[in-house]
Structure formats: structure tokens, C-alpha cells
Amino acid sequence: MSAAPNRMHRPDAELVDLVFDYMRERLQYDPVPLDHPGDGEHLRTHLAGLLNEHGNNPADVLKLYDHELSRAVISADSPRYLSFIPCAPTKAALLFDMVVSCASLQGISWLEAAGAIAAENQVLRLIADRAGLPESAGGTFVSGGSAGNLSALVVARDTARRKLGVGPEARLRVAVADQVHSSVKNTFNIIGVEAFKVPTVDRRFTGEALRAALAADPNPETVIAVVGTAGTTNEGIIDDLQGLSEVTRERGMWFHVDGAYGGAGLFAPSVRERYNGIEHADSFVVDPHKWLFAPFDCAALLYRNPQLARSVHTQDASYLDVLHTEGDEWNPTDYAYHLTRRARGLPLWFSIAVHGTQAYTDAIEEGLTLARETAQLIEETEHLELLMDPQLSAVCFRRTGWTNDDYYRWSQQLLADQIGFVTPTGWEGETVARFAFLHPGTTMDMVREILATMA
Ligand SMILES: *Cc1c(COP(=O)(O)O)cnc(C)c1O
């Protein structure tokens, strides 16, 4: 006797139309409005009683989402969102993200999901080629740069332990510069390694400084890895990857490159040269949900020698034995600390397949051009001071005479007026202003409008 499916699982044309109509509208916003910070009390009032025993009318719930909740989320895909790192997913990528969801597309093992994994790996190969990594390179898509950095540095740590013949009690260190991303510092806490801090030269982490710091240290053999950043988040500075890679190769250290934000610059001829040396990376992370125009949450993690990652990350559980047969099948779960994962590389795959790589190159170059033109405008403006020539698409600058409070008041007013979302940042202990460009819809007119409010 077969029971009728639970009512939640029956096809429901009305619900499909309701939600698709909303999505159709959201996809056509032009431009996407910035929206506002939330008020906890207001949100709690609207949410009260919603999760009850009997459910609610779907149209009412969707309306609550549209009118109250979604307006209290600052739109990261607005062309006026210029804080932190914005996002600007292509329409093709956004649409395919819905396909991944509605088809419950997973990317756990080759046995279960070969089709999805083959497509994801095609994108990973494309990125590996841009970085100049060897044919052997491979990896997986994880949720973000933080997950990528953590997964890669666990492999670095365990590879070093094996090589040195030491256990978890041994003190191990990883060389970093001050500007390294906070997720790397978090990783150190999680995996029990220490930072070996190297001073920067003109805010860049250089091979020469690393060599000097190691030479001055009594136990350089405990420094087992180096993290270079290919585009610091605050300022877009690309470390001396060539110099760092020379030192790591001389000393047999692991070389990890964090390109979560800036890695996309590998696709931009005007800056590609700055990444030289990246081809020697043992592991490399780039977030397509930042500057490769994929939706959240999508980070590409690549290893030069994926076997090393596999030996560290493969989960050992008897119910998983069937996944680990002989052969060349690729199980993405084996290359990071996760198990179940959605096939989050597919939206990017679909979008690149549809638009071609040149469209990506052009869109990334637009962000770079915007940064250069903005820098020039700042230099020409009396009361503004450019703090450094932009290397990528982040621009840090000072409003002469402003205090910390001035910047914060100005930032809040800009958002209240829906002119821009531009948050202050720190620069050598001082509060300053910063733009992060990457949305191809951001225009110089928008930049002028924002800068005019600083007069
Ligand atoms: C954004 C960023 C990260 C963290 O990535 P998430 O996707 O937010 O986890 C790490 N490193 C750098 C350089 C970043 O810009």
C-alpha cells in the first residue's frame, strides 16, 4: 500500500508561480536598491508567532520576507555597495544557482555525482591554468576563503609533521605578514600553529624580508609554511609571490596563496604580471563569490599535489568505504574538511560556459579601471588624499581634517540617503575611507556623487 506523499512534497503549481514571480522580479531590479540596516525590535515584531503548528499562507510569508526582511539586508549586489568586498553575480550564475538548489545537486562523490563534479573540475582546471599550476593540480569548491584557507593549512601542517617526523606536541609556525586576512589568523588558533610574523616592505610581504627573518630566528626549521596574499582585502596589495616562492622552494616549506579577493586578477592582463610566482603555490584559494561574479557561497581551493590533501582530509567511516574504490574518480569531499556539499561550482561553470572567459576578463578590467579613475579624481580633489596607488580595485583615501567620528557619521548618512554603502577602514592606526570596486554596474557618476558629499 503506497501512501500519498506528505502534502509538503506534492507538486504545487501555485507555490511555484508565487516564488518564481518574486525571483523574476528580483532578477530584473535595475539597479538593485541598497536597502537598510535592520532594527531588531521591528524585525522581532514582524516575525512573532510565525513558526506555529499550522503554518501560514505562503503569499503572506513571502510578502513579509519581501517587505520587511529583505529590506533589512543591505544588497551586496547593488552597484552602490562599495564596502568590504561587494558581489556582482552574473544573471546566468544566479539562475543556475537555483537549478543547483531545485535539483538538489550535490557534489560529494564521483559515485553519486560524476556529472556535476566533472563540470566543477573543468572550472577548477581553468583557474589552475590561469595560475600556471601543473596538470596534477586539483581540489574542490568550498563555502568561502576562510574554509579554503583552513583546509589548505591543515594539509600544510600535517605534511610538515610527516616530513619532520613529529607529532601534535611539536611547535610549528607559519610565516605571514601583518596584512594577512583574519581568517588565516583564526586558522592558526584552530589548528594549533603559531604565526611567524615578518615585517612588510612598502606594505608588501617580500621574499627578501622572509629570508632575513628566517636567518635571524634560532629555530627556522619550525617555520613550515608561508602564506602569501594575492590581493589584501583592505588595500588590494599583491605580495611578492615570486620572492616568497623562491624561499619556500629553497627550504622545502609549503607555499599557500590566499587570493580570495584578488585571485580573479589572474584573468586581467593589465595586472597578471603581479601574480608571477603563483605557479609555485602548493595551495591556492580564490573566491568566485567575490570577483568572479558567482553567487554566495563559492570558493575554489586548489592543491598542487591533491594526493597530500586526500591523505589528510579523507573521512574514514565504514559507510563511506564504497566511495573509496580504486581508480581515478574524484571525490570532492576528500580535499577539504567537509563531507556533504552542494555542487556550488556549477553556477560559475554555467556562466563561463555561456559567456566565455573574455567577458570575465572585460568585467574584471572594468573594476580595475574604475579604481584607477577614482584614484586620479581623488588626487585632483583639494580636500582628498590618496593613500596609495591602487594595485587592484580597492582605493583607500583620506578626507583632510576629518576625525574618526566624521567618517562614521558620513558613512551612515550616505547609506540613509541610499547614495552608497561605503564604510570607513583603518590605515596605520588612522580611520580613513575606502572603496572596493568590482560591480561592473558601478559608474564614475556614482563615485562623483559620493565624493561630493565629502566636500
Ligand atoms: C574575503 C577574504 C577571505 C575570507 O573569505 P570568505 O569567503 O569570506 O570566507 C580570506 N582572505 C582574503 C584575502 C579575503 O579577501
* The predicted structure's pLDDT at residue 317: 75
CB of 135 closer than 8 Å to CB of 125: no
* 261 CA from centroid of ligand 1 (Å): 6
Give ∠ CA 394-149-322 in degrees, rounded to 5. 140
Q: Is residue 183 within 6 Å of ligand 1 at its C-beta?
A: yes
Q: Is residue 344 within 6 Å of ligand 1 at its C-beta?
A: no
pTM of the full predicted structure?
0.97
* 34 CA from centroid of ligand 1 (Å): 22
Q: Is residue 291 within 6 Å of ligand 1 at its C-beta?
A: no
* The predicted structure's pLDDT at residue 316: 80
* 285 CA from centroid of ligand 1 (Å): 9
Sign of the Cα torsion 42, 44, 47, 48 reads: negative
Ligand 1, closest atom to CA 233?
Answer: 15
| Nearest CA-CA partner of 344 in 285, 286, 295, 283 | 295
* The predicted structure's pLDDT at residue 285: 98
* 139 CA from centroid of ligand 1 (Å): 18
- C-alpha span between 63 and 58 (Å, rounded): 8
Q: Is residue 144 within 6 Å of ligand 1 at its C-beta?
A: yes
| Nearest CA-CA partner of 435 in 25, 416, 454, 417 | 454
- C-alpha span between 254 and 249 (Å, rounded): 8
Q: Is residue 145 within 6 Å of ligand 1 at its C-beta?
A: yes
12 Ramachandran zone, left/alpha/beta (phi>0; psi -120 to 50): beta
Q: Is residue 263 within 6 Å of ligand 1 at its C-beta?
A: no
Report which protein residue has its CA nearest ligand 1's atom 5: 145
CB of 43 closer than 8 Å to CB of 71: no
The tens-digit pLDDT sequence of the chain (455 residues) is: 556 778 999 999 999 999 999 999 999 999 999 999 999 999 999 999 999 999 999 999 999 999 999 999 999 999 999 999 999 999 999 999 999 999 999 999 999 999 999 999 999 999 999 999 999 999 999 999 999 999 999 999 999 999 999 999 999 999 999 999 999 999 999 999 999 999 999 999 999 999 999 999 999 999 999 999 999 999 999 999 999 999 999 999 999 999 999 999 999 999 999 999 999 999 999 999 999 999 999 999 999 999 999 999 988 877 777 776 656 689 999 999 999 999 999 999 999 999 999 999 999 999 999 999 999 999 999 999 999 999 999 999 999 999 999 999 999 999 999 999 999 999 999 999 999 999 999 999 999 999 999 99
Give ∠ CA 202-177-173 in degrees, rounded to 5. 155
Q: Is residue 299 within 6 Å of ligand 1 at its C-beta?
A: yes
Partnered with residue 173 across adjacent β-strands are 194, 223
Report which protein residue has its CA nearest ligand 1's atom 7: 144
SS3 call for 305? coil
CB of 268 closer than 8 Å to CB of 230: no
